[in-house]
Chains A and B, each alone.
Chain A
């Protein structure tokens, strides 16, 4: 299979603390890969490096064979790497529909159109509604995002990411802070995307059952280092991983 995403010795240090330490991974196209690890293992930092929020102190990132280490997050999104955020990150004083429409608009490449009314772009609105239906938020379209419940904000976040229609989806704990009843709906959305089979998905999650069920492969981060990378089965049987999770491993 063709490699879509690749990191080479990816490292970032904040002062003396090395958050991500020489991580080498390669992700084939259309794979579902999960990243696990205890708190503070560097999972979100690793995501920030991939999506361009942070730039590495060392190492390189390749996307479709192209070195994207120096590109800004805006440019990476345009190339096809979209991400969702662990801490809900939407536009609070815009309506749900407007939130998603902004993502659709970006995907459609309508960026500097300044003299025509937004209502002219009916297709954008229709598409935005489609995405809202997918995450079951269609009856909330006129609500300001700030007034949504936490779980609904997470769903909106996912709808915005999906609307970008990027080849790669970086999902940072999409179900974090959700009530238990809401989790299956989100899982359903993720599963549906996976089943379509045309996206490469990287997922950070703590819910092990969810990961084992969905993932093609799992990588384990521990203290910023890549501890293991393999199929769910291999990871389950891996002794170092087990001891890391049970605590007590110190280099």
Chain B
């Protein structure tokens, strides 16, 4: 009886959550038509792109428990692939699609190889290795001047459909929603449950008869390809690419977004991306008020330390905890009443 009632409550809860998500999605679609601030629209576009990137990172960090410091390499591969194709060939849609295919291929291969290495290297050793891999790509982008124009990077023209800011806004929004739905499915599939089991207790997962390494590789490849996709959108939005896409800063952004938003939750990654991008925007604007705001990264550092100390589960995790506790209190109370009555 109790169990069934609980399930009903849960399904109502899930339904309400879905309704809230749908409303937010509709509001976001309508936003550019209600607000004609161009900079806001560009900022939101940036949020969507980084939300995709942060979700892909969360798949590793939050769901599978793999710490990677080299996630920027997949982002950079996507960014450069599209830039090079648009520059070297023609800025048309077929070439763009070709760049997407190439990005998927390269990121899949690289993430497969890197994922294979998780077999030998655990936790921080693996993190160091990914850092080294990402640096390798950074050096490659710096030195292969004929293709990448070195440190300064290059500008390029994009296909017709990406030129309008409004269209691009909608494309990014839809991409984010699709990635969210896909990953939601993925993490709730039987395979996704095994990934979470690996995060919780790798040895036990093995002794249940799952071969952990294959799951880690799958998570790594899915995450890498999605990060590459985020990179494509990023460089298209700027119409410019330089070596900064391969730097540690990009990985750190993803790390901050997932941890502040809440590890192990997809919506947390999206919220985190929004927060970081907006905070970045506002803090740099405040630079007119006081020069210290020019160094916004200092504030991020402080926020990050505070979050890790006081809200280790991030925004979504903390909210969930509070909800659970209040729910428990309610059930405890009703049980007490039952016992009393």
Q: Which residues of A contact B (CB under 8 A)?
A: 51, 53, 72-74, 77-78, 82-83, 85, 89-94, 98, 101-103, 105-107, 110-119, 121, 124, 139, 141-142, 160, 164
In the complex the two chains form, is B185's CB within 8 Å of A117's CB?
yes
A102-B194 contact, Cβ under 8 Å, with A92-B200, A117-B185, A142-B6: yes
Task: Give, as a whole number of angstroms, the nearest-CB distance from B329 to chain A.
Answer: 15
Q: In the bound complex, how far is the Cα of B209 from the Cα of A51, in angstroms?
A: 11
In the complex the two chains form, is A116's CB within 8 Å of B204's CB?
no
A117-B194 contact, Cβ under 8 Å, with A51-B207, A164-B209: no
Task: Give, as a whole number of angstroms, the nearest-CB distance from B47 to chain A.
Answer: 27
Complex partner residue of A118 from B190, B201, B206, CB under 8 angstroms: B190
In the complex the two chains form, is B209's CB within 8 Å of A78's CB?
yes
Q: Which residues of B contact A (CB under 8 A)?
A: 2-3, 6, 185-186, 188-194, 196-197, 200-201, 203-212, 214, 218
Task: Give, as a whole number of angstroms, the nearest-CB distance from A179 to chain B.
Answer: 23
In the complex the two chains form, is A117's CB within 8 Å of B189's CB?
yes
Max count, chain A CB within 10 A of own CB: residue among B6, B205, B210, B218 = B210
In the complex the two chains form, is A121's CB within 8 Å of B190's CB?
yes
Contacts of B3 in A (CB 8 A): 139, 141
Contacts of A110 in B (CB 8 A): 190
What residue in chain B is nearest A138 (Cβ atoms)? Answer: B3
Q: In the bound complex, how far is the Cα of B193 from the Cα of A244, in angstroms?
A: 47
Contacts of A83 in B (CB 8 A): 207
Task: Give, as a whole number of angstroms, the nearest-CB distance from B278 to chain A.
Answer: 30
Complex partner residue of B208 from A103, A113, A114, A141, CB under 8 angstroms: A103
A118-B207 contact, Cβ under 8 Å, with A93-B200, A102-B197, A142-B6: no
Complex partner residue of B191 from A51, A90, A113, CB under 8 angstroms: A113
Task: Give, as a whole number of angstroms, the nearest-CB distance from B253 to chain A.
Answer: 26
Q: In the bound complex, how far is the Cα of B193 from the Cα of A116, in angstroms?
A: 12
Chosen A-B contacts, 7 in total, with CB atoms closer than 8 Å, are: A53-B207, A74-B206, A91-B197, A91-B204, A92-B201, A94-B200, A105-B193
| A-B pairs with beta carbons under 8 A, tally | 94
In the complex the two chains form, is A102's CB within 8 Å of B193's CB?
yes
Task: Give, as a whole number of angstroms, the nearest-CB distance from B288 to chain A.
Answer: 45
Task: Give, as a whole number of angstroms, the nearest-CB distance from A14 to chain B.
Answer: 19
Complex partner residue of A77 from B189, B200, B208, CB under 8 angstroms: B208
A89-B189 contact, Cβ under 8 Å, with A102-B197, A103-B208: no
Complex partner residue of B209 from A53, A91, A106, A116, CB under 8 angstroms: A106
In the complex the two chains form, is A114's CB within 8 Å of B207's CB?
no
Contacts of B185 in A (CB 8 A): 115-117
In the complex the two chains form, is A74's CB within 8 Å of B193's CB?
no
In the complex the two chains form, is A115's CB within 8 Å of B189's CB?
yes
Contacts of B193 in A (CB 8 A): 98, 101-102, 105, 118
Task: Give, as a whole number of angstroms, the nearest-CB distance from A203 to chain B.
Answer: 17
In the complex the two chains form, is A118's CB within 8 Å of B188's CB?
yes
Contacts of B214 in A (CB 8 A): 112
Task: Give, as a whole number of angstroms, the nearest-CB distance from A103 to chain B.
Answer: 5
Complex partner residue of A89 from B2, B186, B203, CB under 8 angstroms: B203
Task: Give, as a whole number of angstroms, the nearest-CB distance from A64 to chain B.
Answer: 17
Complex partner residue of A74 from B2, B6, B192, B211, CB under 8 angstroms: B211
Task: Give, as a whole number of angstroms, the nearest-CB distance from B339 to chain A.
Answer: 16
Q: Report the 6 A-B pairs with minimum CB-CB distance, sorted nearest first.
A: A91-B200, A77-B209, A114-B191, A106-B209, A113-B190, A114-B189
Contacts of B218 in A (CB 8 A): 112, 114
Q: In the bound complex, how far is the Cα of B119 from the Cα of A72, in angstroms?
A: 14
Contacts of B6 in A (CB 8 A): 142
Complex partner residue of A90 from B201, B209, B210, B211, CB under 8 angstroms: B201
Max count, chain A CB within 10 A of own CB: residue among B201, B203, B205, B209 = B209
Q: In the bound complex, how far is the Cα of B190 from the Cα of A124, in angstroms?
A: 10
In the complex the two chains form, is A94's CB within 8 Å of B191's CB?
no
